Amino acid sequence: MVLFPNCKINLGLHITAKRKDGYHELETVFFPVPLKDVIELIRSDELHFQAYGLAIPGDIDTNLCVKAYRLLKQDFSDLPPVDMRLYKKIPMGAGLGGGSSDGAFMLKALNDKFQLQLDDRQLREYAGRLGSDCPFFLVNQPCYATGRGELLEPVALDLSGHSIVFIHPGVHVKTAWAFAQLKPARPERSIKEIIGGPLSDWKTFLTNDFEKPVIKEYPQLASLKDKLYSAGAVYASMTGSGSSFFGIFPKEIDPVFPAEEDFQVVRLT
């Protein structure tokens, strides 16, 4: 079985409250984009995980594909061992949710391949135990997200007349550090309301709370949004807790960047 887990961008991101369980309340709109990893899943005599492509930091046991398998194994003791091969193409520590997508896709693949009979609600419950934004990748359509990011409401959002360009500067932002920089607060306007308005208004009203502290820590990121707007973006922002920035462009514009060799640019049409 071969899987193609995609990534996401955040259209706006507000951290609204600190919870008693240590997590944060947030609001955002998750939007799926077709930059994808590749996972091959094969029945095996023992559990095995091998990664290729971009180097993945940390121990194998911390990988969300492996965690997804072990999470299901706790409740399905007859789940056979598998060989997982991950080709990593989505940058890590970049706010794109690639690891969460890998884990969510693995849950669904194991459920389908071994006929565990888990319904959508049960899969989303397991995904929420893996990570706050994992449930989104089981829905994989534009969603207004609240709670920890696991409460999802599909929204009508059509960007088919546009293209998306990522700039990944090669900086790995640790999520725990990024959250520690913020003071949660309720915004004056809901992201859901802003997203429902004209795309031309997003530049003025749609914000990501993480941008300011991340740019303060990594001043070299300060110019990325300006480069996207200078190239013709209708809207540009950092995604997640960073460090990637993205721009939304009219499809008739083919953006050109003067120092493209300094960072990775990915064009998605």
Supply the residues annotated as catalytic.
Answer: 8, 133
**Exposed / middle / buried, residue 16 (Cβ in 10 Å: 0-12, 13-18, 19+):** middle
What's the rounded Cα separation, in Å, for the pair 222 and 167? 12
What's the rounded Cα separation, in Å, for the pair 216 and 159? 31
What's the rounded Cα separation, in Å, for the pair 210 and 198? 23
What's the rounded Cα separation, in Å, for the pair 131 and 135? 8
- By the 8 A CB rule, do 120 and 82 touch? no
Both structure tokens of 42: 């094969």
- By the 8 A CB rule, do 137 and 104 touch? yes
- By the 8 A CB rule, do 250 and 234 touch? yes
- By the 8 A CB rule, do 30 and 142 touch? yes
DSSP labels, 77-105: TTPPPEEEEEEE-SPSSSSS-HHHHHHHH
What's the rounded Cα separation, in Å, for the pair 98 and 37? 8
Bridge partner list, 26: 15
